[in-house]
Amino acid sequence: MVETIFHIGAHRCATTTFQRALDRARRPLIRAGLMPWTPSVTREMMFDHLVRQPDVVDDAGDAAVARRIANRRASIGHRGIVRLLVSEENMIGTPRDNLGRAVLYPGLVPRLTRFARAFDGRVDRIGLVIRDYAAFWTSSIAFAVMAGHPVPDAAALARIADQRRTWADVVHDVRQVFPDAPLQVWTFDAFASRPRRQLGLRPATRPSAVPWDGRRTPRRSGPTAAATAIPCGRG
């Protein structure tokens, strides 16, 4: 049976750097028995359907995605793959939803429950990267502004500063949905730009001679002008 490992982000935590490193090393990883599913694969497989708002019900659509995932997993098992690494940060939500609702990954339990069902409950390990709150929210806002969204006003920033949800709540929710899967939590500061180290921390997933070139992703928080345009909030 193929061991399944989830890397669920978070956003603005060098996740894209990690995914691009996986894509560059795809062939040697596969030869080592590890199949990476990054957004280039997951979004082709209709993962976007699974990350919709939790209150939108589509049982038929969910079942179709589950069948596609099951077929793909069976196929890679026949190819000698022993581990599947699924790296998709949108499994836990989106920055747009975080900012729009001024909450850190709201609706996480129903979102992850949808993925647990799609994978037939067979998730063996989970990895999550977290970041200092101020840096996380500043980076999220700056990236949204770079994408053309308006700069939040002082009231919107106050709502974000006043929200009470923490990374501990996120971890609690992940464990609630996947109580039997070991959860590895890393800090952004320790592991940014070090995709090889991130992969190496997962027990039994250390392929030898994988060519990581260490190139940074061009997706940054945004220029200073965007960041300094953000009005000061409380906290």
Mean pLDDT of 193-218: 53
Nearest CA among 219, 216, 211 for reference residue 194: 216
14, part of any domain: yes
Cα 222 to its chain centre, rounded Å, is 20
115, part of any domain: yes
| Higher per-residue pLDDT: 190 or 3 | 3
Residue 30 domain boundaries: 3-132+171-208
Strand pairing partners for 6?
A: 86, 126
- 137 contacts: CB under 8 Å, gap ≥ 6: 160
CB 221 within 8 A of CB 16: no
215, part of any domain: no
> Domain tally for the chain?
1
Q: Are strands 125-130 and 183-187 parallel, antiparallel or unpaired?
A: parallel
User: 144-199, pLDDT tens digit by residue?
Assistant: 999 898 999 999 999 999 999 999 999 999 999 999 999 999 999 877 767 666 66
218, part of any domain: no
CB 70 within 8 A of CB 120: yes
User: How many Å apart are CA 72 and CA 233, to the nearest integer?
Assistant: 47
User: How many Å apart are CA 112 and CA 91, to the nearest integer?
Assistant: 7
pTM, 2 dp: 0.84
104, part of any domain: yes
146, part of any domain: no
164, part of any domain: no
213, part of any domain: no
CATH number at residue 79: 3.40.50
